[in-house]
Amino acid sequence: MRLAEIEAIMLNVGLVLFAAAIFYIIYDLAKKSNAGKFGTFILFFALGLGLIAFLIKTVVVEIIGGGSI
């Protein structure tokens, strides 16, 4: 395997771990603040929207740049 392939795989693994950590932090925040079901939904929606926008931006830049995902 070439170094570029290993870097691409590790980038994808790192992004998945980053997303999982962010969602765990949001869940923990909701649990510690006793947000309830609606409050937890709002937290995941509002704070998760920033993560989703970051991931969508990454995909769009790869598509426009002609790279493969």
pLDDT digits (tens, 9 = 90+) for 23-62: 899 999 999 999 899 999 999 999 888 878 887 888 888 8
| The predicted structure's pLDDT at residue 58 | 80
Q: Which amino acid is at 29?
A: L
Confidence class of residue 69 from pLDDT cuts 50, 70 and 90?
A: low
pTM: 0.67
Q: Among 51, 39, 45, 43, which Cα is nearest to 26's?
A: 43
Task: Check pLDDT > 80 for residue 5.
Answer: yes
Task: Check pLDDT > 80 for residue 68.
Answer: no
